[in-house]
Amino acid sequence: MTEILTRKSGRAGHITLTRPEALNALSWEMCLAAEEALDAWAEDPEVALVILDAEGARAFCAGGDIAEMYRRGLAGDLDFGRRFWADEYRMNAKLAAYPKPIVAFLHGFVMGGGVGLGGHCSHRVVGESAQVAMPECGIGFVPDVGGSYLLARAPGRLGAHLALTAARMGPGDAIHAGFADLFVPEADWALIKERLIETGETSALEEAARPAPDSPMAQAQDQIDALYASGDLVAIEAALVASEGELAQAALKQVRRNSPLSMATTLAMLARLGPDPDDIEAALAQEYRVAFRIMQQGDFLEGVRAQLIDKDRTPRWSLPLDGVAPERVAALLAPLGEDELAL
């Protein structure tokens, strides 16, 4: 069975992830197939817009399929992961700059690679089941697939909170954080897709949209801004320790669980992008510098082992939380010369 279905229907190009048994985890082949369809439809007069969705009730896309990347990297083959990431990031950039509307229907788990696929589209629809997150620091990586761009653009210090804790956003939170645009009840999605296919116009979305559900993160925005104001990992941990609130204590557990090197690097990435970046390609280039080096210089292989391979949930990180030297972070983010990401 194919992992992705691409076809033209009426006035729409339609891309559907068809790997529900794996929570629609995004493989290299799926990335290339999606990109091929997007390229074919960009100037096709029969295609007025693109619909992006997924089969199965549990997930739009729970992340990238990194098991093979882990196996290759463990054996010393670093090029496999680098080529996968380069192709995926190129697709992310195309989604963000696509000349026609792309309507992404985001349900269930939308994490990591799923955010890269659906989070940069022009019309991002979330339903009541959406759980959006960037959990990369938990596997010794950094938010990538353009995720650092979205995190940097989130209100206040919310991006740092989301990155360091892998906190899951419900539909209201996702809209507040800038990871989604519209809330539409999932019971209405089939009819809306029919109208998009029939008309090739996005007006049906605005007509079907409902007020966004409450956002606990919006309500906690001032507290989040204060806790993460320093932008420094050790100072953030201290602020979380000093706070007795439920949000802070839950965040503290995650911060102490995730890779210190990954978290410190992520904070540096967000600082370099600034509070309101407008260039996703700069964010992707920065992410690729880390991805290029992460298997040799970071905690990626150990994080994937602990979380996804052995599943013992006890990673042995390379550095303690208070022991990440700035030089280690700078080395991961240094320019790559002739190996820089080419989009």
CA atoms within 13 A on the CB side of 165: 23
Which tokens sit at 183? Answer: 């809330």
Residues 45, 215: Cα–Cα separation, whole Å: 40
Residues 153, 144: Cα–Cα separation, whole Å: 14
**Domains of the chain in sequence order:** 4-339 (3.90.226.10)
- What pLDDT, on the 0 to 100 scale, is given for residue 335? 98
Within its chain, how far is the Cα of 85 from the centroid? 13
Which tokens sit at 7? Answer: 């076809």
- What pLDDT, on the 0 to 100 scale, is given for residue 2? 82
Q: Which of 53, 88, 136, 287 is catalytic?
A: 136
Put the strands of the sheet holding 123-126 in their side by side order.
Answer: 4-9, 12-17, 49-54, 102-106, 123-126, 182-183
Q: Which of 63, 112, 113, 116 is catalytic?
A: 113
Strands 12-17 and 4-9: what pairing?
A: antiparallel
Residues 23, 94: Cα–Cα separation, whole Å: 24
Please, are residues 260 and 321 in contact by the beta-carbon 8 Å criterion?
A: yes
Q: What is the pLDDT of residues 143-172, one digit of tens each?
A: 999 999 999 999 999 999 999 999 999 999
29 among known catalytic residues:
no
- What pLDDT, on the 0 to 100 scale, is given for residue 65? 86
Q: What is the pLDDT of residues 184-213, one digit of tens each?
A: 999 999 999 999 999 999 999 999 999 999
Residue 72 vs residues 2, 76, 91, 220: alpha-carbon distances, Å: 23, 6, 22, 42
- How big is the chain, counted in residues? 343
Tokens 């809330």, located at residue: 183
Q: Which of 64, 81, 112, 298 is catalytic?
A: 64
- Percentage of the chain beyond pLDDT 90 is 97
Q: Which of 53, 65, 88, 144 is catalytic?
A: 144
Residues 92, 125: Cα–Cα separation, whole Å: 17
pLDDT band at 1 (very low <50, low <70, confident <90, very high): low
Mean pLDDT (the chain) is 97
- What pLDDT, on the 0 to 100 scale, is given for residue 236? 98
Inform me whether the pLDDT recorded for 14 exceeds 90: yes
Q: What is the pLDDT of residues 292-332, one digit of tens each?
A: 999 999 999 999 999 999 999 999 999 999 999 999 999 99
Q: What is the pLDDT of residues 236-277, one digit of tens each?
A: 999 999 998 999 999 999 999 999 999 999 999 999 999 999
- What pLDDT, on the 0 to 100 scale, is given for residue 134? 98
Write the single-letter amino acid at 225: D
136 among known catalytic residues:
yes
CA atoms within 13 A on the CB side of 318: 21
Inform me whether the pLDDT recorded for 38 exceeds 60: yes
- What pLDDT, on the 0 to 100 scale, is given for residue 210? 97
Please, are residues 16 and 54 in contact by the beta-carbon 8 Å criterion?
A: yes
Residues 146, 151: Cα–Cα separation, whole Å: 9
Give me the helices (H) in 123-188, please.
147-153, 158-165, 171-177
Compute how many other C-beta atoms are within 10 angstroms of the C-beta atom of residue 179.
28
What's the whole-number mean pLDDT along residues 6-15?
Answer: 98
Which tokens sit at 219? Answer: 């309500």
- What pLDDT, on the 0 to 100 scale, is given for residue 105? 98
- What pLDDT, on the 0 to 100 scale, is given for residue 244? 87
Inform me whether the pLDDT recorded for 115 exceeds 90: yes
Residues 343, 337: Cα–Cα separation, whole Å: 15
Give, rounded to a whole angstrom, the gap between the first and last alpha carbons of the chain. 31
| DSSP secondary structure letter of residue 22 | G
